[in-house]
Amino acid sequence: MNMNRRFYYARAALCRILLPIAVMNYLEAL
């Protein structure tokens, strides 16, 4: 359960970091 929570937080942090970058790159590519 502890590892599950850690994985969830890691995935949330990853999305929080990578999603804005991906959106900016996508908007610049338009």
Per residue in 3-29, pLDDT (tens digit) is: 799 999 999 999 999 999 999 999 999
Contacts 24+ apart (CB under 8 A), 20-23: none
CA distance 5 to 17: 18
Distance of CA 20 to CAs 1, 2, 5, 29, Å? 29, 28, 23, 14
3-state secondary structure (DSSP) of residue 20: helix
Q: 1 pLDDT exceeds 70?
A: no
Length of the chain: 30
Model pTM score: 0.53
Specify the pLDDT at position 2: 75
